[in-house]
Amino acid sequence: MGERCEQKNKYYDIYLELETKILDGSYRAGELLPSEHELSKQFEVSRETIRKALVLLLENGFIQKLQGKGSVVIDRERYAFPVSGLTSFKELHKAQNMNAVTKVIKNEYETLPEDVRHYVSLKKGAKAWHIERIRYLEGEAVILDKDFLLDTDIQAIDNSILEDSLYSYLEGQLGYEISYAQKEITVELVTDEDRALLDLYHDTHIVVVRSAVFLKDTCLFQYTESRHRLDRFRFIDFARRR
């Protein structure tokens, strides 16, 4: 009993020491931890004890196992996404000094998918510009944005504009007055598409933000589905008691 307790405390102590070194920057994001063999020599314990400590680090979001390489330290910095505001990704990028890149993977005029059509209550066969973009932060694909521009007057928009700022173009060049949005935030199971397009590692869930965006004249203008990797973002709001 006493020996088993001591062994348990040992791997937990190792976990705490490694956690501290990650948090204080001794092991930086993107760096590999020493190998199991090196750690077992350093702490004078078996590799099995080291593995248990590494499992705790993995489960608590400090490391990611890479086959053939070892344990890499995860960047735990989270960017703040306002819930109540209507802010473009480029505006957030500039405000929070994100090292961000956008890649357009779809830009087509097509019939709305049934789930989107039902969400925005449009008639069967309604069409829209369907735009999909992947957002990369620090070289990792962490957001999949799906936009449906519902105004039939909108013409094709060049990918270079979509990779810069869609809202700047719509407001600055086309004169749209984008006013407010109704948002729904859920945590959902990762789909095969999420897995194929985003760097999710072993994540099983993803944050999904669905927004119906309206113009100043209250016309429904856009539907957006934004799929976020869990560990890189926090969603913030300001609340006042009435």
pLDDT tens per residue across span 27-37: 987 889 999 99
> Structure pTM?
0.63
The CATH fold assigned to 2-73 is Arc Repressor Mutant, subunit A (1.10.10)
Q: Tell me what pLDDT residue 1 has.
A: 41
Q: Tell me what pLDDT residue 126 has.
A: 94
Average pLDDT over residues 182-195: 92
β-pairing, 79-82 vs 233-236, is parallel
Q: Could you tell me the residue ranges of all domains in the chain?
A: 2-73, 79-236
Whether the per-residue pLDDT at 240 is higher than 70: the answer is: no
Q: Tell me what pLDDT residue 95 has.
A: 45
Domain 79-236: which CATH class?
Answer: alpha beta
Q: Tell me what pLDDT residue 154 has.
A: 93
pLDDT tens per residue across span 60-93: 777 888 778 888 887 655 544 555 554 545 545 4
Whether the per-residue pLDDT at 212 is higher than 80: the answer is: yes
